[in-house]
A and B are shown apart, each in its own frame.
Chain A
Amino acid sequence: MSDLLYSDTEEALRDSVRRLFADRCPPESVMRAYDPAPHDFSDVWHALAADLGMTGLLVPEDLGGAGASAREAAVVMEEIGRAVAPVPFLSSAVLATVALLQAAGTEAAETVKGLAAGSLTAALAVPLSTAPDDAVAGVAVSGSASGLTGRVTSVAGASDADVLVVPVTGPDGLELHTVSRDAAGVDVSPVLTLDMTRPLANVEFSSAASSRVGDARAEDALRAALETGAALLASEQLGIAQWCLDTTLAYAKQRKQFGRAIGSYQAIKHRLADLWIEVNSAAAAARYAADTCARRDDDARIGAAVAQAYCSGAAVHAAEECVQLHGGIGMTWEYPAHLYLKRAKSDQLAFGTPYRHRARLADLVDLPVS
């Protein structure tokens, strides 16, 4: 049976990550992601990756990792959501790491060790909106000597990456290649995004040198990476929703109108009670997804689809309520509510929209559309 609570180890891990973000990236600092010349957050990322060792959670111990599981990584994702932390954990320590581990090529061992140690950062070269069972059009490999050629749009974490993990259309199906971000023929152009705290970039390859990882077809590795990403994104969405609930609650207790705290009016308090119910439900869905993913349970795909279908909306609703119940303050650039709204709305599209996940579920649980 699934354990939907947190172990003591998971709580301890949460404390250290929460302290790090409180110290190194408070909201006023995160806001600088929207500056005309974006702020450099690599110190926060380095502290999370190298000092706290969080990038090694999903990596086995013999490759220098912590040999932990998706349950622990999910707790990190919750804290990332709670702080809208501008760190490429999802793109590097989850997506790229899982893809490389699943492709199981010894060629990538050194890269994985670097990722676990925090000395390297990677990104998986797929659009962030790719759902786990979307067909991925890999970039073309144009003969053995001339490298990769093609374009991938809206790649999360590409600007921060040292290594790009690239799906490539080979003669026998999809292959996975690694490409150095600095290699000739690699162009990474950042795009202006709704959520600047998870930067996206378009990546263009023109005869870029690459190394293939593993010799099996890469569809399964890619799917595993996206499934894990979808399962764990639900925990980020939970963290966003929790921050929005906590912050709105504190405001409703302190803000007075008509001589009373606004949280004493049923128009406000009933909305907050509904939000509490929703956040509690999101916690159950997110923990189930993390736990079934960690145990490679048969129900993991359903768990991830349910969590995405539910937690996406919960995070967006919580952020929208946060803006509304703060009144005018919620609309200001200065107040951090918009950081959460933008992250929540973008997260709703990452790895497929809730509509998409409901359609996937319909297949998984045999409820066909017609």
Chain B
Amino acid sequence: MGTDEQDIARDLRARTQTLLDEHDPASSDPPQFLAARFDAGLAWVHFPRGCGGLDLPRSFQSQVESDLAAAGAPPGGGGRNGIGMGMAAPTIAAFGTAEQQRKFLRPLFTGEHIYCQLFSEPGAGSDLAGVATRAVRDGDDWIVNGQKVWTSGAQNAQMAILVARTDPTVPKHQGLTYFVCDMTVGGVDVRPLRQITGEAEFNEVFLTDVRVPDANRLGPEGGGWKVATTTLNNERVAIGSMAGITRETGMIGKVAQAWRAEPQLRNPAMHDELMQLWVEAEVARLTGLRLRQRLTAGQPGPEGAGMKVTFARLAQAISGFEIELHPESGLRYDDWTMRQPDVVDFTGREPGYRYLRARGNSIEGGTSEILHNTIAERILGLPPEHRVDKELAWKDLDR
């Protein structure tokens, strides 16, 4: 660390301390504390001043996070705003006008605005650029009609990031526009979608004549694909970083704890498999750490796709191993009640839940198959898939 960097680090520590002195996390209301943190520029130090940041390199963020966490401060976004924090905020910071940044980022950070993501549709999953939800201009507004799916947390969301088709007469990537959409206005119908775990994290969202002001458009009309790519790259980094900051975080920690605590579960044939998984989990943790060290500034590129593929593969392998490790209790399940959880709690539930939920890790946020294409084409420069739909107007595609 150079002298400049040491000065910045010292200055940040002082700012963090001032915040903690003036707003004791133990006695402040979490939204109040978070508002003060935002105003102190300590929400995202790499964001602009006045928008929760201090225009510093991204690398300084982790120090603030760990200092505040150590002091018992509430997490940014209030703890149940993963899509807002992980995807919407970096996208708004990259593409929003100064006005939009001022308007959206503060309530997002305080947790007043929970976000959801209106991207996938029944007919546009891996082929996200094929979305059919239409937005038609009406004066200063857009009128939106369509159906979205796999929308986590929509039942709690005040806001959404939305990709809609504004021009069907041009090829599919060129006719998309990106909006921030108020979920509390008329015409938004949210219906839970139950999944194989028994619960419903996801929803279907039906949009009928939903009015979105043009002032909520992020980026240019027809420029939505580029904005959405930023969101998706951030999403993969967010999911991939679930590999954990400290050793034995998450699922591998559960398995290691069980192995240590219950000697009767041990058998030599499974031991080497346990150690293989342990090594892979540790290497994934180091790989995530290294990726974050490289992302000192700017937006993540497609590199996060690799972390996401690794995380999914490991989560599936470890959760499958964990069931086999518990020959009898592995036959049981903790709860089939239909409920709508606010956050995914991998470690708070039993092995059967983890096993089932982990199947989704290689599907959500880009299937592992699509991410292999992303890595091969965007990082390795291999030739793209043959496509018949790239030059045709979206309205003329065989859908």
**A263–B382 CB distance below 8 A:** yes
**B266–A370 CB distance below 8 A:** yes
**A261–B383 CB distance below 8 A:** yes
Report the nearest A residue to B286, measured CB to CB. Answer: A284
Q: In which size bucket is the chain B interface?
A: 35 or more
**A284–B271 CB distance below 8 A:** no
The SS class assigned to the B binding surface is helix
Q: Bound complex: CA of A359 vs CA of B279, how far in Å?
A: 11
Q: Bound complex: CA of A369 vs CA of B272, how far in Å?
A: 8
Which chain A residues border B120 with CB–CB below 8 Å?
none
Is A281 an interface position by the 8 A CB rule? yes
Is A306 an interface position by the 8 A CB rule? yes
Closest CB of chain A to B258's CB: distance in Å?
11
Report the nearest A residue to B270, measured CB to CB. Answer: A369
Q: Bound complex: CA of A368 vs CA of B267, how far in Å?
A: 10
Is B289 an interface position by the 8 A CB rule? yes
Q: Bound complex: CA of A367 vs CA of B259, how far in Å?
A: 7
**A269–B373 CB distance below 8 A:** yes
Closest CB of chain A to B184's CB: distance in Å?
41
Report the nearest B residue to A357, measured CB to CB. Answer: B279
Report the nearest A residue to B303, measured CB to CB. Answer: A280
- Interface size in chain A (residues, C-beta < 8 A): 41
**A358–B275 CB distance below 8 A:** yes
Within 8 A of B (CB), among A245-278: 249, 252-253, 260-261, 263-264, 266, 269-270, 272-274, 276-277
Closest CB of chain A to B347's CB: distance in Å?
18
**A273–B372 CB distance below 8 A:** yes
Is B293 an interface position by the 8 A CB rule? yes
0/1 interface trace, chain B 233-276, chain A, CB 8 Å (1 if under): 00000000000000000000000100110010011100110111
Interface stretch (choices A2-10, A84-92, A338-346)? A2-10
Which chain A residues border B371 with CB–CB below 8 Å?
273
Is A45 an interface position by the 8 A CB rule? no
Which chain B residues border A270 with CB–CB below 8 Å?
369, 372-373, 376
Is A139 an interface position by the 8 A CB rule? no
Is B395 an interface position by the 8 A CB rule? no
Q: Bound complex: CA of A366 vs CA of B369, how far in Å?
A: 36
0/1 interface trace, chain B 370-397, chain A, CB 8 Å (1 if under): 0111011101111111100000000000
Report if A310-B280 is in contact (Cβ < 8 Å); known contacts: A264-B382, A284-B286.
yes
Given A281-B310, A361-B279, A370-B263, 7 other A-B residues pairs in contact with their CB atoms under 8 A: A4-B290, A253-B381, A269-B372, A270-B376, A273-B376, A274-B372, A358-B279
Interface residues of A (CB under 8 A from B): 2-5, 249, 252-253, 260-261, 263-264, 266, 269-270, 272-274, 276-277, 280-285, 287-288, 306, 309-310, 355, 358-359, 361-362, 365-370
Interface residues of B (CB under 8 A from A): 256, 259-260, 263, 266-268, 271-272, 274-276, 278-280, 282-284, 286-287, 289-290, 293-294, 306, 309-310, 369, 371-373, 375-377, 379-386
Report if A277-B290 is in contact (Cβ < 8 Å); known contacts: A261-B383, A269-B376, A306-B282.
no
**B272–A276 CB distance below 8 A:** no
**A367–B382 CB distance below 8 A:** no
Which chain A residues border B280 with CB–CB below 8 Å?
310
**A276–B380 CB distance below 8 A:** yes
Q: Bound complex: CA of A284 vs CA of B290, how far in Å?
A: 6
**A5–B294 CB distance below 8 A:** yes
Closest CB of chain B to A46's CB: distance in Å?
35
Query: Which of B286, B376, B384 meets A288, CB within 8 Å?
Result: B286
Closest CB of chain B to A198's CB: distance in Å?
25
**B286–A285 CB distance below 8 A:** yes
Query: Which of A281, A285, A358 meets B276, CB within 8 Å?
Result: A358
Query: Which of B268, B282, B369 meets A369, CB within 8 Å?
Result: B268
Which chain A residues border B385 with CB–CB below 8 Å?
264, 266
Q: Bound complex: CA of A306 vs CA of B283, how far in Å?
A: 8
Closest CB of chain B to A4's CB: distance in Å?
4
Query: Which of A3, A252, A288, A369 meets B382, CB within 8 Å?
Result: A252
**B278–A287 CB distance below 8 A:** no
Closest CB of chain B to A192's CB: distance in Å?
32
Q: Bound complex: CA of A309 vs CA of B283, how far in Å?
A: 10
Which chain A residues border B275 with CB–CB below 8 Å?
309, 358-359, 361-362, 367
Query: Which of A263, A266, A281, A366 meets B283, CB within 8 Å?
Result: A281
A sample of 19 cross-chain residue pairs with beta-carbon separation below 8 angstroms, ordered by A number, consists of: A261-B382, A269-B376, A269-B382, A274-B372, A276-B375, A280-B287, A284-B283, A284-B287, A284-B289, A284-B290, A287-B286, A306-B283, A306-B286, A309-B276, A310-B279, A358-B275, A366-B260, A367-B256, A367-B259
